[in-house]
Structure 1
Amino acid sequence: MPAIQPRVFGIAGRSGSGKTTLIEAMLPLFTAMGLRVNVIKHSHHDLELEPPRKDSARFRQAGAQEVMVASPYRFAIVHELRGRPEPPLAEQVARLAPADLTLVEGFKHEAIARLEVYRPANGTEPLHTEPDSGFVAVAAPEDALLDTPLPRLPLDQPQAVAQFICQYLQLPVRA
């Protein structure tokens, strides 16, 4: 299994905490810093990326292991696991184009540095208190009552979170 590179950083949290919103807000900030960023989002649901009657879906249903759909604007590769186990995160990262940073949403049990997006108002327990969780910081609303030894970042300030990630990973910011 290939080793996960230090440029991988996780964003984790309970459902509805704002993980996707935070990543979406940080992406243009990282781009403005001159960084190339990939994102891997883990899903527990079956992925339907094309309507069932489209040619690409028909190829998969007929037994193709991978189907690429290409256009002048983007391309996508759909790889069928066909009962094989889900590949580990390191293998997924290796499939991506080279980047300065790969943000990972989910994959809570992989051995990577991660930040928890935490909203006490959701009424759920934090994840960063679990042993060996890999959390290096917590992003929470500024008015949230939260007792943690980890660095605490303001959730409504994606620039501060992005800067923390860059500093933590010692990323070469070019802008």
Structure 2
Amino acid sequence: MRIYGVVGWKNAGKTGLMERLVAEITGRGFSVSTVKHAHHTFDVDQPGKDSYRHRDAGAREVLLASRTRWALMHEMRNDEEPTLEALLTKLAPVDLVLVEGYKRDAHPKVEAHRSVTGNPLIAPEDPTVRAIAADVAVDSDRPVFDLNDTVSIADFVLKEVGL
């Protein structure tokens, strides 16, 4: 499976870049799935809804299905976070999986960087960061793209993964 990541510190523009890359790459006819790492507890449904009530009652997995989509929720009752590798096995085959977060994993990545955050670049300390997408000029030994130049970033990612 071809995977490519988007990493960066909080408010660096990761989600916006992911959204634009998915639209650009699927617009070129490729199938894309995404994996997003969350650092906190989250819910995909609301208290009081049937699926929430099933999970709250102790169900290990709840599959919610309709005519337009389905979602499988799996409760980690042992409080151990699954690895990216394990999660990727849950996805149906696609041309490319874009991963937001998981900055410490070994897959290739582009770093999103916005100067307003005041955070340092991840790239100098991480050889898996293959390019930087920034809203300011950046001095780097890797390719640097304008954070909003989605077409060029998509071209780079697709070339990197052989698509």
TM-score, structure 2 length as denominator?
0.95
Q: Which moved more, 1:115-124 or 1:101-110?
A: 115-124
Q: How far did 1:150 drift? A: 0.5
For residue 6 of structure 2, what is the aligned residue in structure 1? 11
List aligned pairs for 1:1-175, cutoff 5 A: 5=1, 7-130=2-125, 132-141=126-135, 144-171=136-163
Structure 2 stretches lacking a partner, 5+ long:
none
Please tell me the residue identity of whatever aligns with 2:45.
E
Aligned to 1:9, the other structure's residue is in SS state: strand
Q: Is the 8 A contact 1:118 1:126 kept in 2?
A: yes
Percent of pairs identical after alignment?
Answer: 37
Q: Which runs of 5+ in 1 are unaligned?
A: none
- Paired residue type of 2:134: A
Question: Contact between 1:139 and 1:152, CA under 8 Å: does it hold in 2?
Answer: yes
Q: Deviation digits for residues 10-66 of structure 1, max 9, x if unmatched?
A: 100111111111111121211121100001110011111111211111111222110
Return the alpha-carbon distance in structure 2 between the equivalents of residues 157 and 57 of structure 1.
40
Length, aligned pairs only: 163
CA distance in 1, matches of 2:105, 2:21: 22
Change (3 A) 1:133 1:86: farther
Q: 1: distance between equivalents of 2:9 and 2:34?
A: 18
SS at match of 2:21: helix
CA contact (8 A) 1:113 1:134 kept: yes
Measure how far apart 1:133 and its partner are.
4.7
Distance in 1 (CA, whole Å) between partners of 2:5 and 2:36 is: 10
Q: CA RMSD, aligned part only?
A: 1.2
Distance 1:100 1:51 in 2: 33
Poorly superposed stretches of 4+, deviation over 2 Å: none
Give the 3-state SS of the residue equivalent to 1:95 in structure 2. coil
Shift in CA distance, 81/133, structure 1 to aligned 2, threshold 3 Å: farther
